[in-house]
Amino acid sequence: MFSYLKSKNISIKKILLSLVAAFSLMVPLVNYRYMNLTIFAKSFNMLALAIIFLAVLFINRKDYSLKRSKKILSLLFGIFMIIGQCYVNGTILIFDSIINIILLIIKLVGYTYLFETMFYIIDKLLEKIDIKEIKPKNKYFKWYIDKLDKYPFRTSLITIMIFWLIYLVAFYPIILNPDSSFQIMQFFNVKTKYIEWVIPRSKNVNMTTHHPVLQTVMLGISILLGRSLGSDNLGLFIYTIVQTLFLASVLSLTIKFLDKNKVPNSIKFSLILIYSLVPMFPLYAMTAVKDTYYTGFIILFVMYIIDYINNYKDKKISIKNMFLLLVITLFIALFRNNGIYIVVITLFFMLFYSKTNIKRLGLTLVVFLCLITSYNKVLIPKLGISDGSIREALSIPFQQTARLAKYDDEIIDSKDKKTIDKVLNYKTLAKRYNPELADNVKNEYNKYTKSEDLKAYFKVWFKYLKKKPLVYIDATLNNTYGYIYPNTHNSYLYTMYDSRIVYGYDKYKEDYKKEKYNKLKEYIENDKYGNKDNINIKEPKKHHNKYITEYELKFDKPLVNYHFNKLEGLRNILTEYGNIFPYIPLLGLLCSIGFSTWMVLIISVYLKNKKYKLALIPLYLSILVCFASPANTYFRYALPVIFSLPFILCLIISKKGVYIENDKK
């Protein structure tokens, strides 16, 4: 037995590490102080542990030297796994339990060894992979591949649109989410919660910059255009067609970019299939969220940077090229408020890549800053549009304060509570706390808060950071773990009918609290299916899965005549396909937020030349934006990373000699 193990290069150390690795995957983190260990033992899957143990044990890593960056990343991934397991079902990272501390250490060692083994497998696969051109025998497939090679953009665009056509038909005219519905209301100057969260710049203008003004105007103009042609639905569909063609065109440009870089047609065809068949692409193409346009311009930005690195180290970029960069970066900033930071930081690092282009890139950056500043500080105020609330940037400290109020209220003295109360309404703060969503905490931010009030608040915040650092760490990790933990899936596809613009909601008054529901009877005659019985007059808290406790009806007719068609069955099928896709083995990882973060980090350690990390800066920053966001595992926040990765992976794997550096034996 021992001689056999020795012949297979299996030492006692490797046996123990393999066992610990299997143990890490199979043994969950639980609060052993309160758990029945007998029940836990009976539920344990010994067969799965044995399979994983043997698989790891017999992987031969003889004479294999792992790069330090991969060792560090293996340890980091182990920490990510433990954080995710601790918070996915509530906080169970209990440091006063000796058993849990020991278990955490064992699992960390096991995970680290497991991920080191994973890197070994990746290296072996990269050594053996040999991607070849497709040489189809079927005449129709051959015709298609010939067209793809000759006209990569046109062929890709037509293919993607054909596959997406079923979504355009099923969800005609558009998929609206709550944000886009509120944007439409703002365009028509209806008061919404967003104007009530700020001190209005003008009494006659109810629009704010909480959502991108450009997209709000695009939605509104589309409706007016359709209305002039006789149909609000047609106007919304015009918006959908333009947005869908934009995203499909951007994705087709990635195929053309691969073709320009002489990537085999097998990879190009595979990427077209991903774009065509993975439901998140067509569904977000049809959903009126700011993130769709924003993501498209981020992908264009990444492509621009890769092309810049490959071709403009010693060659001057043209005026036309500078203008293209300016347009891309401006739209990034116009479609997301935090896009300006991604642009400025990325362009700053690009300045140092090429001495030849430092002046031209510097000029582009200056012009960008002048234009975007003029837009935000001159045009927006001139139009009377109010700035969004500062609270949107304070999710992290607000969540930390709320968690402190919920679990350690007794240590906060009365003076500090009054200071917090001036900003966040301390009386209800603990009840409003949701570990994975900061909205309820932020919603009672005092819009009349002065700068000195915020300074006083942050003094209190810092005071309790020193006293209760673990509470603050818990609050942040509980609100962000999904962005680093691949076992949490939240595809969060928008497929439901949103009725806000049909019934014209406004902020509810005291009479609504007193259960005066007669307005519902007066204004709602039928639901979207023409069935009055589906509307619950006695309990108007929910209508078609849309909570309306914060709103009452204002208009005696729809603000916008928006409705789905009668293809409910088809919509349900496509919705179910979208919902189950994240759970399909391997393929579902394309929709995993945590896994996308891991892939960005893995790509980083495999890049042969550090210069290519410039192209990943927009993705690094997008991940950091997710950590600063108010919601955990929120899919559309991670959209730029998730939608960019298939293209980047196809490029670097197919051109591994250019982009990838493998560890040597």
Q: Are 194 and 580 in contact (CB under 8 A)?
A: no
**What DSSP string describes 206-251?**
--BSSS-HHHHHHHHHHHHHHHHTT-HHHHHHHHHHHHHHHHHHHH
Angle 378-382-387 from CA coordinates, rounded to 5°: 75
Given a cut of 60, is residue 177 above it in pLDDT?
yes
Q: Which of 46-60, 172-186, 430-444 has the lowest mean pLDDT?
A: 46-60
Closest to 235 (Cα-Cα) out of 226, 243, 244, 227: 226
| Mean confidence (pLDDT) of the chain | 84
- Chain segment 479-528, per-residue pLDDT in tens: 999 999 998 877 678 998 888 887 654 433 333 333 344 444 444 444 43
Q: Which of 44-53, 379-388, 539-548 has the lowest mean pLDDT?
A: 539-548
Given a cut of 50, is residue 189 above it in pLDDT?
yes
Domain ranges of the chain: 2-79+102-128, 139-385+585-659, 394-483, 505-553
Arithmetic mean of pLDDT, 297-313:
96
> Is the pTM here over 0.85, yes or no?
yes
- Chain segment 82-136, per-residue pLDDT in tens: 888 888 866 655 555 677 777 788 888 888 888 888 888 888 888 888 888 888 8
Q: Are 552 and 512 in contact (CB under 8 A)?
A: yes
Given a cut of 90, is residue 600 above it in pLDDT?
yes
Closest to 79 (Cα-Cα) out of 501, 618, 640, 594: 594
Given a cut of 80, is residue 284 above it in pLDDT?
yes
Q: How far, in Å, CA of 466 to CA of 404, rounded?
A: 12
- Chain segment 440-489, per-residue pLDDT in tens: 999 899 999 999 999 999 999 999 999 999 899 999 999 999 999 998 87
- pLDDT band of residue 333 (cuts 50, 70, 90) is very high
- Rg of the chain, C-alpha, whole Å: 27
Given a cut of 80, is residue 46 above it in pLDDT?
no
Arithmetic mean of pLDDT, 185-198:
91
Q: How far, in Å, CA of 599 to CA of 647, rounded?
A: 12
